[in-house]
Amino acid sequence: MPSCNILLIRHGITDYNRQGRIQGQLDIPLCDQGRRQAQELAQRFKPGQIQAIYSSDLSRAKETAEIIARAIKLPVEEYRPDLREICFGHWQGHTMAEVAQLYPEELALWRADQTYSAPHGGESFAQMTERGWKAVQEIAASHPGQTVAVVAHGGLIKGILCMANSMDLSQRSQLVLDNASYTTIEL
């Protein structure tokens, strides 16, 4: 079966990104700068270059996907909850400095093992990566020989890149993903 080219696209910037707040699965919209970033990114793609667009169902990714979809005259195929960012539980909405004050013991445990530990009410990086990798594999299997855009989140994309490149999940900090950037993998 022919492979599928997946464009992993990180959503545009949000006010929470700029403030250093943990978004996780909170539904934070793009800010004006994030919309401009998404519009600039969309101009890099031409109609016919991408055959399908999928997105996380969180508004910052949805809006980024919709801006790209309008530019290339293609509808968004599906908004998928399995493409969401990692759930940081009760840390969501806080800065890391606030988390250090509110949950110091929990933060220490997480810092000791950022791959397999999770904040209370959240999920681990490994759990998020497993669901995201499965989603991308399903998408690729549905589009052999095509190029598909997947609009998602920094953490999820890092996990997928680790899996696609046979990297240990603990190596994800070596990956740098700017807002409104994309990386291509072949599955």
Supply the residues annotated as catalytic: 11, 85
- Contact (CB, 8 A) for 6 and 184: yes
Tokens of 110: 């997480």
Q: Are strands 5-10 and 182-186 parallel, antiparallel or unpaired?
A: antiparallel
CB atoms within 10 A of CB 62: 19
Distances (CA, A) of 34 to 74, 92, 140, 159, 184: 21, 20, 27, 23, 21
Say how far apart CA 128 and CA 118 lie, in whole Å.
Answer: 10
Tokens of 65: 């996907």
Say how far apart CA 64 and CA 48 lie, in whole Å.
Answer: 18
Say how far apart CA 8 and CA 24 lie, in whole Å.
Answer: 18
